[in-house]
Amino acid sequence: MALLDLLIYPDVRLKQVSASVRVFDEKLHAFLTDLEETMRAGPGSVGIAAPQVGYFERIVIIDVSSKPKIKHHGHLILVNPEITQWKGFEVGREGCMSVPDYTGNVIRAKKIHLMALDENGVQQEYDMEGYEARAVQHEIDHLDGLLFLDRLVSRRYDLFQRSQS
Amino acid sequence: MYQWFMITLIGKDQIGIVAKITTALYEGGCNLGEASMLRLGGNFTIMLMLHYEGNAQALEELLKPVAKDLQLHFHIDTIEGQLHQHQLPNVRVSVHGADRTGIVAQVTTVLAEAGLNIIDLESDVGGDEQQPFYVMHIEGIATSGIVALEAALQQLLLQQPDIEVKLEPVETVFM
């Protein structure tokens, strides 16, 4: 077990597109343990993507279960995740361990349908909404070399477009 | 050693104000920090943090020619500025209603008494001259909890039923 070093914006490696995971072995599982530990070490952090620690494979860990009164799936390891359906949109505030001392408003789909492999390469499907759906969309962006900074909307935009579906 | 300054500039809106002001500051050796710049009622307004190695007088000399050229008034304050001091809002209050005097005072007074620290406030007047309406959005920190703000606003609405007020928590998804 080890805490991994986070890439911090404006590190250009955060723009790199990650490759699909092909091999599900001990090495992957050891990495997942370290990635999880790194996520848990971030104050209040509910998710992490492998490229945030310079490991450019399509892996995300999410756990929004600490948030009260929301629908969620608990702790999830998402390998090669793909969103196959989007429904509605809303503006919400996001922060990121790779972007210290800054939060901003971002438009995300309210509800998503997600396909992903688990840590053993078994196909899983999820319907997600709200906070959890936002977290997954934020993390999948990392796999494509995008940060929430690439999706910021202005405050004034937020005033009039919020909560539409 | 440099010093932080806050400059405010105001004048009739026209193309190029931001470009010309910031170019003059840049060429004079200023480093810009956080800023708010927007058009209010046909005027363009700038509030801008910057740090600079000279004193306020030197900064004034730097701004004078370009401000004169653009017909802007400006004011310089020496401040104890610092970057990386962001505070995270946890509540948003939206207000709208037929425009009248006192909306901002009434709403913000009860919110302040209930512990709201305002981080950001924007307001606008829409409609037309016969029927203007007022819109205000506030983001802030509920230092005594959101329930206290809700109770205060409910009380206010009993006395001021002509305004619509919506309070909602701002949740930040932190990853």
Q: Is the bond into A10 cis (omega within 30 degrees of 0)?
A: yes
Cα gap B121→B101, rounded to integer Å = 17
Instruction: Please give the pLDDT value at position B161.
Output: 93
Structure tokens at A17: 């597109």
Residues B47/B8, Cβ–Cβ less than 8 Å: yes
| Pairwise CA distance, residues A155 & B171, whole Å | 15
Residue-wise pLDDT for B75-121, tens only, equals: 999 999 888 888 999 999 999 999 999 999 999 999 999 999 999 99
pLDDT digits (tens, 9 = 90+) for A65-74: 998 889 999 9
Mean predicted confidence (pLDDT) in B3-8: 97
If one compares B83 and B70, the residue with the highest pLDDT of the two is: B70
Domain boundaries, chain B: 3-79, 91-169
- Point out the residue among A93, A101, A159 whose CB comes nearest to the CB of B172: A93
- CATH class, range A12-161: alpha beta
Q: Is B54 exposed, middle or buried (0-12, 13-18, 19+ CB in 10 A)?
A: middle
Structure tokens at A65: 């279960």
Closest CA of chain B from A34, distance in Å: 16
Q: Is A69 left (phi over 0), alpha (psi -120 to 50) or beta?
A: left
**Would you call A22 an interface residue with chain B, using a CB distance cutoff of 8 Å?**
no
Residues 114-173 of B with CB under 8 A from A: 120, 122, 135, 137, 170-173
Residue B59: how many CA atoms within 13 Å on its side-chain side?
26
Bridge partners of residue B38, in order along the sequence: B45
Predicted-assembly ipTM surpassing the 0.85 threshold: no
Measured between CA atoms, how close is A99 to chain B, in angstroms? 10
- Does domain B91-169 fall under CATH 3.90.380.10? My reply is no
Residue A162, pLDDT > 50, answer no
Instruction: Select the CATH number that applies to the domain covering B3-79 from these four: 3.20.20.70, 3.90.1150.10, 3.30.70.260, 3.30.413.10.
Output: 3.30.70.260
This prediction has a pTM of: 0.87
| B3-79 against B91-169: fold identical | yes
3-class secondary-structure state, position A66: coil
Among A97-106, B61-70, B124-133, name the most confident range.
B61-70
Q: Is the pLDDT of residue A164 over 70?
A: no
Say which of A47, A103, A139 has its CB closest to residue B172: A103
How many Cβ atoms sit within 10 Å of the Cβ of residue B158? 7
Cβ of A135 within 8 Å of Cβ of B88? The answer is no
Could you report the per-residue pLDDT of B118-166, keeping only the tens digit for each? 999 999 999 999 999 999 999 999 999 999 999 999 999 999 999 999 9
